[in-house]
């Protein structure tokens, strides 16, 4: 059989982190050649590719304001549109929407409707684009968001996107940096369940997370924090330290996880993504708080073998994959 070629288009950081060289060795034993794509050179001269795996988040975000990135993205898109037989993991429009928290929270909201009978939800939130304090306060009340609120930047990629805050009262709302999402904080016993999806497979890893806070407004000052200080495997912060008396909840049921991943896979039309979920300590409801593009799969030793199986399955079923659902069906959310 002719050697199949899989192109990888990743940032230097991502390529080193995932250890692409080791993955290329594994693929080599299965007759698959891994090629590192250089976006600065014409793609056609580096092809042909049967599959392209990419994480172009940096380029997509920078292309909003930078002409060089626009050029790189256009080069990539041109290759993809003129080579319809090349399978792209994952489709650019699906990935692009996850770089914008306004769009990704709409997806989570939609998911909560389709999985209502499975007791899956996403915390209520607001898209904030205005500095008009009275309009924000009024919207928080109207939407019945509960304090504390967690404030996240609209852009979901890059180092700034992990800068967040916990706002404890209407007076603290002026600390929100725009544009952002304000979301009700859900007490979850400081345990985050990171679900990593690779094609048909998924793996769940536990991570530290923010500790519980008393429900309702109080006169505490806004806490600014970086999410990577609280939810990385090695994170150790006063914000994650739980009182020893706090009971530990059982992990989410595998049945519900399977339903959630199945629904999300169909909704996004993506194969490489992660979902962050927490369990509400009061209602035990599985609560989705984040969807990530091509995550790090830290703590998933099966990542390489699963990715290889997925690539082989894609190659086998090429041309028979159903298209993803249309993103046009997302519900409208008022932007402030």
Ligand X SMILES: Nc1ncnc2c1ncn2[C@@H]1O[C@H](COP(=O)(O)OP(=O)(O)OP(=O)(O)O)[C@@H](O)[C@H]1O
Residues 5-24 that bind ligand X (CB under 6 A): none
Which one among 87, 95, 145, 186 touches ligand X, defined by CB under 6 A? 186
Binding mask 268-287 for ligand X (x = CB under 6 A): --------x-x---------
CB of 228 to Mg ion, least distance (A): 9
* Phi, psi angle pair for 53, to nearest 5°: -105, 130
Q: Three-state DSSP class for 77?
A: helix
Does 230 participate in binding ligand X (rule CB under 6 A)?
Answer: yes
Pull the structure tokens for residue 191.
Answer: 């345990």
* Residue 310 binds which of ligand X, Mg ion, none (CB < 5-8 A, kind-dependent): none
Residue 225 marked in a binding site: no
Number of Cβ atoms within 10 Å of the Cβ of 156: 24
Does 162 participate in binding ligand X (rule CB under 6 A)?
Answer: yes
CB of 247 to ligand X, least distance (A): 17
Q: Three-state DSSP class for 283?
A: coil
Does 195 participate in binding ligand X (rule CB under 6 A)?
Answer: no
Strand 4-9 relative to strand 32-36: parallel, antiparallel, unpaired? parallel
Residue 232 marked in a binding site: no
Work out the burial of residue 230: count CB atoms within 10 Å of its CB; fewer than 13 is exposed, 13-18 middle, 19 or more buried. Answer: buried
Does 210 participate in binding ligand X (rule CB under 6 A)?
Answer: yes
CB of 276 to Mg ion, least distance (A): 4
Give the CB-side neighbour count of residue 136, counting CA atoms within 13 A. Answer: 25
> CA–CA separation, 246 vs 283, rounded Å?
15
Binding mask 240-279 for Mg ion (x = CB under 5 A): ------------------------------------x---
Which one among 290, 303, 308, 336 touches Mg ion, defined by CB under 5 A? 290
Residues 102-161 that bind ligand X (CB under 6 A): 123, 150, 152, 156
Strand order in the sheet with 149-153: 125-128, 180-184, 149-153, 163-167, 223-226
Q: Which residues contact 16 (CB under 8 A, 6 or more apart)?
A: none
Cα dist from 174 to 177, 267, 336, whole Å: 8, 35, 14
Number of Cβ atoms within 10 Å of the Cβ of 207: 19
Which one among 124, 290, 297, 310 touches ligand X, defined by CB under 6 A? 290
Per CB under 5 A, residues contacting Mg ion are 276, 290
Contact residues: ligand X, CB under 6 A: 123, 150, 152, 156, 162, 183, 185-186, 188, 192, 209-210, 227, 230-231, 276, 278, 289-290, 292
């Amino acid at each position: 059989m002719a050697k199949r070629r899989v192109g990888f288009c990743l940032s230097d950081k991502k390529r080193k982190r995932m250890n692409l060289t080791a993955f290329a060795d594994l693929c080599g034993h299965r007759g698959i050649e891994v090629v590192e794509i250089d976006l600065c050179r014409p793609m056609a001269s580096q092809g042909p590719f049967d599959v392209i795996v990419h994480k172009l988040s940096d380029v997509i975000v920078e292309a909003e304001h930078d002409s060089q990135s626009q050029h790189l993205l256009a080069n990539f898109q041109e290759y993809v549109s003129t080579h319809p037989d090349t399978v792209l993991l994952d489709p650019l429009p699906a990935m692009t929407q996850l770089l914008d928290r306004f769009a990704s929270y709409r997806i989570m909201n939609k998911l909560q409707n389709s999985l209502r009978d499975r007791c899956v939800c996403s915390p209520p939130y607001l898209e904030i684009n205005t500095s008009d304090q009275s309009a924000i306060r009024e919207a928080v009340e109207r939407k019945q968001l509960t304090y504390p609120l967690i404030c996240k930047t609209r852009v979901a990629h890059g180092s700034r996107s992990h800068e967040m805050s916990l706002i404890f009262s209407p007076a603290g709302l002026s600390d929100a940096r725009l544009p952002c999402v304000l979301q009700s904080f859900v007490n979850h016993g400081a345990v985050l369940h990171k679900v990593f999806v690779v094609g048909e497979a998924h793996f769940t890893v536990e991570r530290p997370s923010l500790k519980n806070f008393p429900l309702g407004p109080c006169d505490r000052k806004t806490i600014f924090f970086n999410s990577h200080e609280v939810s990385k495997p090695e994170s150790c912060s006063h914000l994650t330290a739980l009182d020893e008396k706090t009971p530990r909840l059982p992990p989410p049921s595998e049945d519900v996880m399977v339903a959630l991943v199945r629904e999300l896979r169909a909704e996004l039309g993506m194969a490489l993504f992660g979902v962050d979920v927490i369990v509400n300590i009061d209602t035990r409801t599985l609560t989705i708080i984040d969807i990530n593009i091509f995550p790090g799969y830290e703590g998933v030793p099966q990542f390489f073998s699963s990715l290889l199986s997925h690539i082989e399955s894609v190659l086998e079923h090429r041309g028979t994959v159903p298209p993803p659902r249309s993103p046009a069906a997302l519900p409208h959310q008022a932007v402030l």
